[in-house]
Amino acid sequence: MAEEALLQVVRDDGSYDAALEPKLPGDMLKKLYRTLVLVRTVDTRMLSLQRQGRIGFYVPSWGEEAAQIGSAAALEPNDWIFPAYREPGAGLWRGFPLKTYVCQMYGNAEDLLRGRQMPNHYALRDINLASVSSPVGTQIPHAVGAAWAMKLRGDPNVAIVYFGDGATSQGDFHTGMNFAGVFHVPCVFLCKNNQWAISVPVARQTAAKSLAVKAVAYGFEGVRVDGNDLLAVYAATKRAVDKARSGGGPTLVEALTYRMGPHSSSDDPTRYRKTEEVEYWKQRDPVERFRRYLEAKGMWDKAWDDAIRKEIDDAITEAVRYAEKVPPPAVEALFEDVYADMPWHIREQLEEFQKGGYRRRPEEMGEFPL
């Protein structure tokens, strides 16, 4: 059955429930805070670059950092992550190199996706991070399919799939949930309920009391957590991951959070939500809450905080400088990667291009090619 109570470990003022607190080592707690600051700083800098016209598009995740990082920290290195388009924290926690991340934003020759994806649509096989894609919810059946394969092969791994509240209105969500329940696959569904599917509020997505309760219809457990409380997200996800790994089947985790910034660099949230609502959630900022928690435990001081912020800022500056010196992908890359061995007709097109046949303008060819 779904738990309607909201799991919370750390309160807004940084005080915490010692009985519910995961007993994480101090160095891990500090790394978690550093990653929170990293994601917040990366978002600020990348959105600024987009406004300057230096990158084409960006999806910030201000306010949702704890839900990303707390859940990713509960995984094992061989587990698979299927992100939506607002999970940079999951990748950066896993070890996504900062320069590689920034190169993807530029779509340059060192972008691992070779400029074929939109900016902010990153992926990295080395850390089992599947590709971001724009269609809402399409990653859910992919994650469930991967989890089913893990079960069939006897792999001791788990798949986690991220999505927003808007995705719960998509057929892919219901198809994935139903299949996962029937076949008892090792999949964790992590719904970041950030209140808004672009301009559509969650109240227009469902008449249910929560999103977690939807798991009941598919025969497995749903839980609700304070998504701005990193340790609550970690605890709920760790329990769900351990359960899935031991053969206990899937879990739906609803992390109640808030998107404090725009949906993307193309969005103006002032057109559909009130300033008072944003201010309410600013008082529940997940980065500041975790900072207060560390301070309450005697693990934070301003000098340390200033030092890691400078280190992060300098690293991003260096990554941007590096990315802007890298040329765009070679045009020849258009003909590569689709096949392990290039077939004759693609090779013929490549050779024609290399001879200059595709450099002519249509009017010079006498007719417009199809």
Per-residue confidence (pLDDT) for residue 337, from 0 to 100: 86
- Asked if 216 and 222 count as a contact pair (C-beta separation under 8 A), the reply is yes
Per-residue confidence (pLDDT) for residue 282, from 0 to 100: 96
Which amino acid does the sequence have at 299?
M
Residues 88 and 137 in one domain: yes
How many helices and strands, by DSSP H and E, does the chain display? 11, 8
Write out pLDDT tens, residues 54-106. 999 999 999 999 999 999 999 999 999 999 999 999 999 999 999 999 999 99
Residues 230 and 167 in one domain: yes
Specify if 120 maps to a domain. yes
CATH code of the domain containing 305? 3.40.50.970
Q: At residue 4, does pLDDT exceed 90?
A: no
Residues 215 and 359 in one domain: no
Per-residue confidence (pLDDT) for residue 133, from 0 to 100: 85
Residues 293 and 182 in one domain: yes
Active site residues: 259, 263, 272
Residues 340 and 281 in one domain: no
Specify if 153 maps to a domain. yes
Per-residue confidence (pLDDT) for residue 316, from 0 to 100: 98
Residue 26 is part of which domain span? Answer: 3-325
CA atoms of 268 and 264, how far apart (whole Å) = 8
Of the listed ranges 150-154, 183-187, 334-338, the one predicted with least confidence: 334-338
Q: At residue 364, does pLDDT exceed 80?
A: no
pTM over cut 0.85: yes
Token pair listed for 159? 């798949």
Domain count, the chain: 2
Residues 341 and 311 in one domain: no
Task: Let me know the angle formed at the C-alpha of 220 by 215 and 223, rounded to the nearest 5 degrees.
Answer: 60
Write out pLDDT tens, residues 232-241. 999 999 999 9
CB proximity list for 310: less than 8 A, separation 6 or greater:
none
Q: At residue 359, does pLDDT exceed 60?
A: no
Residues 198 and 299 in one domain: yes
Write out pLDDT tens, residues 127-152. 999 999 889 999 999 999 999 999 99
Per-residue confidence (pLDDT) for residue 159, from 0 to 100: 98
The total of other beta-carbon atoms located within 10 Å of residue 270's CB is 10
Residues 50 and 128 in one domain: yes
Residues 262 and 356 in one domain: no
CA atoms of 259 and 64, how far apart (whole Å) = 6
Residues 87 and 150 in one domain: yes
Residues 28 and 166 in one domain: yes
Residues 34 and 157 in one domain: yes
